[in-house]
Amino acid sequence: MVATPARPCHIQTMTDQAHKKRPRDMSQRAKMIVDIAAGEVKDEEPDTGKNPAAVALGRLGGAKGGKARAAKLTPEQRSEIAKKAAAARWNKPRN
C-alpha cells in the first residue's frame, strides 16, 4: 500500500467543485457564452450548500431580534449600551 502525501485542508481538487468552470481558452469561452445566450446550455449558479428554508428562517429571526431586545431593556440599560458603543467607535485607531 502506498502512502499518500498529506495535503493542507484548504487545497481542493477540481472534482470538489459543484459547478463547471468556464473554459480558459478565449474561443471556447466565447462559444460557451453564445450557447448560454441562445439557451442551448444552462448557465449554472454555484451551489452555496445552504438550505434555502434555513436561510429564510434565520433572516426572520434576525429581523425580530433587535426590536425584541430593545423592548425588554430599561431606558438606563439602553443608554449604557449606547454609551459603550459610542466609546468603541471613537476609540478605533485611525488610518
| pLDDT attached to residue 74 | 95
**Rounded Cα–Cα distance for residues 43 and 46 (Å):** 10
| DSSP helix/strand/coil, 46 | coil
Residue 14 · residue 24 · CB < 8 Å: no
pTM over 0.75: no
Higher pLDDT: 20 or 82? It is 82
Is the confidence at residue 16, as pLDDT, over 70? no
The amino acid sitting at 8 is P
Is the confidence at residue 6, as pLDDT, over 70? no
| Residues constituting the chain | 95
What are the residue boundaries of the structural domains of the chain, listed by start?
52-89
**pLDDT tens per residue, range 61-72:** 778 888 888 899
Is the confidence at residue 42, as pLDDT, over 80? no
| pLDDT attached to residue 3 | 55
